[in-house]
Amino acid sequence: MLEIRNLFVAYGKIVAVSKLSLTVNEGEIVTVVGSNGAGKTTTLRTVSGMLKPQSGEISFKGRSIVGLSPEAIVTRGISHSPEGRMVFGRLTITENLKLGAYNRKDAAGVKIDMERMFEMFPVLEQRKSQRAGTLSGGEQQMLAIARSLMSRPTLLLLDEPSLGLAPLLVEQIFDVVVELRNEGATILLVEQNANEALRISDRAYVLETGTVTVEGPSIELINNPQLRAAYLGLD
Ligand code: ATP
């Protein structure tokens, strides 16, 4: 479904991603793990059109998306839930969700999906008229995910959904990710919480200084003692 080949992305002279290749097949959860500054966020931003690569190819459903605007990429079916709970703090929860559906013209479908989001995240329904800035960190994270689902993506890019959350909320967020996949979504997940992310994903890539150093089925990465110690920070 998504194919990245030999990607190079730089910020001025700083090369953030180099020679990166990865694929995501339909119906998979694929995790990208790696330490701070490894290039995870840069990769997702490039897929969603916020950054232009120096070179390399990104194709989605067999067609190149390099050079398309972020709006055009959303319309093709890719939605990005960014790191850092980027909700619109002064808008209400309902308004934030509507913004996630800005590219859709089927008002009835948008309404149905909004109800679905409230079923999936009951805490958001209780607070739907409240300003998003008054939500707790975990609630804002849920809103950010719900908002990105409002465009009805076929591929969801999730950047560090568990960042800064209490263990119970982390578990809830990962449950939602699995539920989404069971409903037919395909997910590319970036996580520092490698242990949890590998447990729910099918395949994984380890990124180091902008390039893939290890890839394989998540279960193999979890069970490989060398990888656990060297790359995943697990004992
Ligand atoms: P983290 O887990 O800390 O978010 P990451 O794996 O997502 O890290 P990136 O944010 O993609 O890593 O950063 C990759 C490299 O690019 C880092 O060396 C970082 O300092 C650099 N970088 C990221 N954003 C910018 C920017 N706007 N300008 C200059 N350099 C940047």
**Mind listing the pLDDT tens digit for each residue in 202-211?**
999 999 999 9
Task: Flag whether 162 is in a domain.
Answer: yes
Q: What are the φ/ψ torsions at residue 195 (nearest 5 degrees)?
A: -60, -55
Best mutation site among 36, 54, 81 for ligand 1 pocket (most ligand atoms within 8 Å of CB)? 36
Task: Flag whether 99 is in a domain.
Answer: no
Integer Cα distance of 66 and 108 in angstroms: 32
- Residues of the chain with pLDDT > 70, as a percent, come to 97
Contact residues of ligand 1, CB 6 A cut-off:
11, 14, 16, 34, 36-42, 192
pLDDT of 232 reads 64
Task: List the residue whose alpha carbon is closest to atom 11 of ligand 1.
Answer: 39
The whole-model pTM stands at 0.89
Best mutation site among 7, 8, 14 for ligand 1 pocket (most ligand atoms within 8 Å of CB)? 14
The tally of domains found in the chain comes to 1
More confident residue, 58 or 86: 58
Task: Flag whether 103 is in a domain.
Answer: no
Task: Flag whether 208 is in a domain.
Answer: yes
Task: Flag whether 104 is in a domain.
Answer: no
Q: Tell me: pLDDT of 229 over 80.
A: no
Answer yes or no: is the ipTM higher than 0.95. no
- Distance of CA 9 from the midpoint of ligand 1 (Å): 11
**DSSP letter at 130?**
S
Instruction: Report the CATH number that the domain containing residue 224 is assigned in CATH.
Output: 3.40.50.300
Give the pLDDT band (50/70/90) at residue 138.
confident
Task: Flag whether 160 is in a domain.
Answer: yes
Q: Which atom of ligand 1 is nearest to the CA of 44?
A: 11
CA atoms within 13 A on the CB side of 41: 11
Mean pLDDT, residues 152-167 taken together: 88
Integer Cα distance of 80 and 45 in angstroms: 8
pLDDT of 82 reads 86
- Distance of CA 11 from the midpoint of ligand 1 (Å): 9
By the 10 Å C-beta count (0-12 exposed, 13-18 middle, 19+ buried), 98 is classed as middle
- Distance of CA 43 from the midpoint of ligand 1 (Å): 10
Give the pLDDT band (50/70/90) at residue 110.
very high
Opening angle at CA 81, ends 76 and 83, nearest 5: 140
Q: Tell me: pLDDT of 60 over 90.
A: yes
Q: Output the six-digit token pair for 51.
A: 């950054």
Give the pLDDT band (50/70/90) at residue 233.
low
What residues contact residue 225 under an 8 Å CB cut-off, 6+ apart? none
pLDDT of 14 reads 93
Mean pLDDT, residues 146-163 taken together: 90
pLDDT of 195 reads 84
Task: Flag whether 75 is in a domain.
Answer: yes
pLDDT of 58 reads 98
pLDDT of 235 reads 60
Task: Flag whether 16 is in a domain.
Answer: yes
Domain range holding 51?
2-86+153-230
Facing residues of 215 across strands? 205
Question: According to the per-residue pLDDT averaged within each range, which of 46-60, 143-157, 192-206 is highest?
Answer: 46-60
Amino acid at 72: A
